[in-house]
Amino acid sequence: MRPASAGAAALADGAQSQIKVLRAESQAPRSRARFPAVVGEPLPLNQILIGDCIEELARLPAASVDLVFADPPYNLQLESTLSRPDQSIVDAVDDDWDKFASFSHYDAFTRSWLEAVRRVMKPDATIFVIGSYHNIFRVGSLLQDQGYWILNDIVWRKTNPMPNFRGRRFTNAHETLIWAAKGAGAKNYRFNYELLKAGNEDCQLRSDWLFPICTGHERLKDESGHKTHPTQKPEALLARILLAATNAGDVVLDPFFGSGTTGAAAKRLGRHFVGIEREEIYAAAARKRIAAVEPLPHEAIAATPSKRSEPRVAFSAIVEAGLIAPGAELTDEKQRHRAIVRADGTVAIGAVVGSIHKIGALTQGLPACNGWTFWHYVSQSGKREPIDLLRTVARKNLREAEA
């Protein structure tokens, strides 16, 4: 027999060797080397690719998708059957695809698919990853390690979460989405701010979203009435993501396609999708589901013009175009402050002269002011309107002149 100290040393050496192997496995970009992308291969739009997501991702052309939605395995680590107080069995996630030998194996898998996804994202593409407390913190750390730039974390609050039957924890009533750009230098990523704000009673959309879990007629079921997929997401959740971060005609990639919620929402909203799914039974259900979707009419999904993308128009151009005359009086909405329009495009209150923004800020004692929305004029109909309407007219005239 070896001395105890020798045995301990051998065990330590063995542990160190195992750690090195795990590290090497998690860091080696094997999928890219073994499964190179075919040069010139077109993007398989509106198709579900069957196979391992990392292998299939490596076959896609680089810099080819506008958005990624990823609903990866959560690694729930369920060790026993869950039961309700009446001893009925909870239909929980216990499929093999959600089982990993260790956190190290899960991290290696996550690192690999994030690397593969990043390669196929366009420079200004973004990614949404959804998860629970079991995995989302590990995913977030690995996202940052690989150079992704986190834009928001979004909380999906469930209106009808599954209760905690054992009464030993808080009810898990939410999941977390991480929204990230491909890198810190991605400044022109798509975010339909005005569209989301207009649909939210003209208030900025918050990062806590309230949706029910997928139930009722939307939940896919097999012939025996059981759930087709245990973690099917509500289509309303995907619709908001697509409306927020894509335009009609954009390409959305879902490397964990499952029951096809991403594809159904994409077809309905006039987007293209590329899905990857390893289980043919899920893919078959997704194909049937997507085939039954009716796309919305163009006028229901047309992009809302972004003010940031509109050409800049100075207030002096409004005066020069004759849309408002020098000497006209401007007031705030409640007519507490008054200013006179000057021929050079500035405005004046007594002897104080400046831009519409500067004078608007001075009258309120504020450091800044959006003069376009603060100042109002009397339109031809006799109604008091914000001068921003005149800027809209000027931009329309510019577009017509350039056509």
Decide if 5 is inside a domain: no
Do 289 and 380 belong together in one domain? no
Per-residue pLDDT tens digits of the chain, which is 403 residues long? 333 333 333 333 443 444 343 334 333 333 333 344 444 568 999 999 999 999 999 999 999 999 999 999 987 754 544 444 454 444 444 555 456 778 899 999 999 999 999 999 999 999 999 999 989 999 999 999 999 999 999 999 999 887 876 778 899 899 999 999 999 999 899 999 989 998 998 899 999 999 998 888 888 888 778 887 788 899 999 999 999 999 999 999 999 999 999 999 999 999 999 999 999 999 999 999 999 999 999 989 887 766 666 778 999 999 999 999 999 999 999 999 999 999 999 999 999 999 999 999 999 999 999 999 999 999 989 999 999 999 999 988 888 887 6
Do 152 and 80 belong together in one domain? yes
Q: Is the dihedral of CA 278, 280, 282, 284 positive or negative?
A: positive
Decide if 333 is inside a domain: yes
**The two three-digit tokens of residue 40, written as one number:** 């010139």
Q: Which ranges of 181-308 would DSSP assign to H, the alpha helix?
A: 193-198, 235-245, 261-268, 280-291, 298-301
Do 320 and 214 belong together in one domain? no
Using CA atoms, how far apart are residues 191 and 189, in angstroms rounded to an integer?
6
| Residue 77 CA: distances (Å) to CA of 53, 83, 148, 305 | 21, 16, 27, 46
Do 322 and 278 belong together in one domain? no
Do 81 and 204 belong together in one domain? yes
Pick the last residue of a domain from 235, 266, 300.
Answer: 300
Using CA atoms, how far apart are residues 232 and 220, in angstroms rounded to an integer?
8
CA nearest to 220, candidates 290, 280, 269: 290
CATH number of the domain within which 237 lies:
3.40.50.150
Pick the last residue of a domain from 255, 270, 300.
Answer: 300
Burial class (CB in 10 A: 0-12, 13-18, 19+), 75: buried
Question: Could you tell me the pTM of the whole model?
Answer: 0.70
Please answer whether residues 76 and 98 qualify as being in contact, where contact means their C-beta atoms are separated by less than 8 angstroms.
Answer: yes
**If DSSP codes are grouped into helix, strand and coil, which group holds residue 276?**
strand
Do 333 and 290 belong together in one domain? no
Decide if 125 is inside a domain: yes
Please answer whether residues 270 and 301 qualify as being in contact, where contact means their C-beta atoms are separated by less than 8 angstroms.
Answer: yes
Residue 84 is predicted with a pLDDT of 42
Using CA atoms, how far apart are residues 31 and 16, in angstroms rounded to an integer?
25
CA nearest to 378, candidates 321, 344, 343, 327: 327
Burial class (CB in 10 A: 0-12, 13-18, 19+), 154: buried
Residue 307 is predicted with a pLDDT of 65
Do 179 and 60 belong together in one domain? yes
Decide if 206 is inside a domain: yes
The count of domains in the chain is 2
Do 55 and 124 belong together in one domain? yes
Decide if 24 is inside a domain: no
Residue 102 is predicted with a pLDDT of 86
Do 80 and 218 belong together in one domain? yes
* Domain ranges, residue 153: 47-300
Decide if 157 is inside a domain: yes
Residue-by-residue DSSP string for 282-335 = HHHHHHHHHHTPPPPPHHHHPPPPPGGGSPP--HHHHHHTTSS-TT-EEE-TTS
Sheet order of strands, 251-254 included: 47-50, 272-277, 251-254, 65-70, 121-131, 174-181, 149-158, 208-211
Classify strands 376-378 and 208-211 as parallel, antiparallel or unpaired: unpaired
Do 130 and 266 belong together in one domain? yes
**Residue 189: partners with Cβ closer than 8 Å, 6 or more residues away:** 124, 125, 126, 151, 181, 245
Do 265 and 326 belong together in one domain? no
Burial class (CB in 10 A: 0-12, 13-18, 19+), 272: buried
Decide if 275 is inside a domain: yes
Using CA atoms, how far apart are residues 326 and 345, in angstroms rounded to an integer?
8
**If DSSP codes are grouped into helix, strand and coil, which group holds residue 143?**
helix
Using CA atoms, how far apart are residues 385 and 379, in angstroms rounded to an integer?
7
Decide if 112 is inside a domain: yes
Using CA atoms, how far apart are residues 175 and 133, in angstroms rounded to an integer?
8
Using CA atoms, how far apart are residues 247 and 271, in angstroms rounded to an integer?
7
Do 321 and 181 belong together in one domain? no
Pick the last residue of a domain from 300, 325, 351.
Answer: 300
Using CA atoms, how far apart are residues 188 and 179, in angstroms rounded to an integer?
15
